[in-house]
Amino acid sequence: MTRILPRASGPLLLVLAFALPLAAQKGVSEPRIGLEIKPPKAWVELPGHVDRGATIRLFAAPRALAGKGEGTHTPILRAMFFAASGDASKDVVDGLPRMTAFRSLEDFATRGLGVKDAKKEQDKAGALAFTKITGVHGDFTFHGAAFAVDGGEAAVCFDCFTSQYDKLKKEFDAAIGGTVGVARVAAARPSAPWETDAEWATKDAPTRNGARKSWITATVEATTKEPSTSFKPGKSKHWTVLSAADAGFTKKTVAAAEAMRTWMTQKLPDLVKDAPQPAVLRIFGSMDHYNAYLTTTPATRDYDQKRRELHFVNDPDNGGSGGYGMLFRAVMWHAFDDMDDGILPAMPRWFDNGIWEFLRSSQSDGKKVEFTSSDVEKGRIAYYGQNNQAVPATWHLIQEAIQKSPEDNKNEQVWGYTPECARMIRWWVLHDGGKAFERPNLFVDYVRAVGQAHVRMGADPMLDVGGPSLTEDENKKRNKAQYKWRDDLLGQINTIVIPLDEAKWKVANEKWLAFNQSGK
């Protein structure tokens, strides 16, 4: 989903930028990279093991700063490690760049961020020699130091708006200059079995399920044992809680998440008939820090499948403790992932966007939940009535015929029918939409079919293609394969759950039109 970064006034941000202290925090020993690092004072810690696993510890400035153009960005500090055994042979496959592990700080700067013409010079932090690497990528400036350590290379690096760089450079140099060496102790996080087992797809379901459950348990345990200066541990009935928010907000969040889970057991029992597998409910203290975290990971959902984490943010601009759309989506995505790990990466555009909008304006008092229609959804449906137009037909939405994949393989437009798709989900879940298709349990049946179709089709062939500087031809090549995969996948899903019977679709559509005229 498209995320809109919060704005703040330029003069205020300018004052805050100059007010940032130059002093560093107390040293943070990190044996996994072999260094003790000193983040600038008042910087907060965010979840690590991002940037394809290279960033072991991640820190962010107290607040976002404005660039010369519109938008904001929170300066970040990465503490990284690159194994000496890195292999460049698979960086490009079939002419397309792949998201392979980074092998050095310079490799991360160029292949990960898109820094061009990086400047390198030798320097020292006390007795430690390092290579200073700086460069520009887009509107940002990268400022880092690479240290030779046991088993590879460690690094401390900063990233910020270029327009803010001169104000922050002294802090960056002071933090890097305070770095000292410590004994390195390797400690890798558990790897997902489907990423490391070449024969994973050929193994039977019980074997895969057993291996996946073991990985899930190990992943959550590893997360809870990792050191953090900002997230406080806690518990709920269904999740391990890690929160950077205040105690009151954390308590309300946990209660709302549990209320959503309870609602699903009552309304969608086939979706959550088993107890949830281990996961972390992570609560960020501000949108500035959540947005900073998102710059380090390709994950775009409110639930990170690879980390087994549900995410929520203390965001006063998005309803504060009453606006729980983001949290409820995370709870639902977690349930989908427990049902079948192929569901989230294979969800059709109409279904994904529909659920997102359906849950966006959700409310909770900690005991019950309410799925109110957003003003966007209500306004769109009202527009059709005011202009004597019919709401798009069921098949145009569910078969995505209303917005087909671009034939020229260029980047597609943002999905344009989110309010209508939210209305379709509302009809299925809260009303009698399933019965119209002669499937009372249609919502859960559809979710299950997504996973079944993913097994038949296999994973997105372009899943590991990426990088900051795809050429136009590379981008089209990737899009072509990805569009074909998802279009074929959608056909498989609909074949499984809603066979193409024109007469039945027309009957269902009449009921769909009537529902939208009912005012419900």
Q: How confident is the model over 53-74, as pLDDT tens digits?
A: 999 999 999 999 998 877 899 9
Q: Class of the 10-181 domain?
A: alpha beta
Q: How confident is the model over 111-138, as pLDDT tens digits?
A: 999 999 999 999 999 999 999 999 999 9
Please give the residue that has the higher pLDDT: either 236 or 499.
236
pTM (predicted TM-score): 0.92
Using the predicted structure, report yes or no on whether residue 322 has a pLDDT greater than 60: no
- Tell me what pLDDT residue 14 has: 34
Using the predicted structure, report yes or no on whether residue 364 has a pLDDT greater than 90: no
Q: How confident is the model over 402-449, as pLDDT tens digits?
A: 999 999 999 999 999 999 999 999 999 999 999 999 999 999 999 999
Using the predicted structure, report yes or no on whether residue 17 has a pLDDT greater than 60: no
What is the mean pLDDT of the segment spanning 299-319?
Answer: 88
- Tell me what pLDDT residue 18 has: 35
Q: How confident is the model over 196-225, as pLDDT tens digits?
A: 888 887 888 889 889 999 999 999 999 999
Q: Are 261 and 319 in contact (CB under 8 A)?
A: no
Domain ranges of the chain: 10-181, 200-339, 340-520
Residue 4 pLDDT class (50, 70, 90 cuts): very low
Using the predicted structure, report yes or no on whether residue 289 has a pLDDT greater than 60: yes
CA distance 424 to 437: 12
Tokens of 395: 């098949």
Q: Are 64 and 40 in contact (CB under 8 A)?
A: no
User: Measured in Å, how far apart are the chain's first and last C-alpha atoms?
Assistant: 26
Output phi, psi for 267, to 5 deg: -95, -30
Using the predicted structure, report yes or no on whether residue 300 has a pLDDT greater than 90: no
Using the predicted structure, report yes or no on whether residue 16 has a pLDDT greater than 50: no
CA distance 392 to 280: 39
Which H or E element spans position 77? strand 76-83
What CATH fold (topology level) applies to the domain 200-339? Answer: Glutaredoxin (3.40.30)
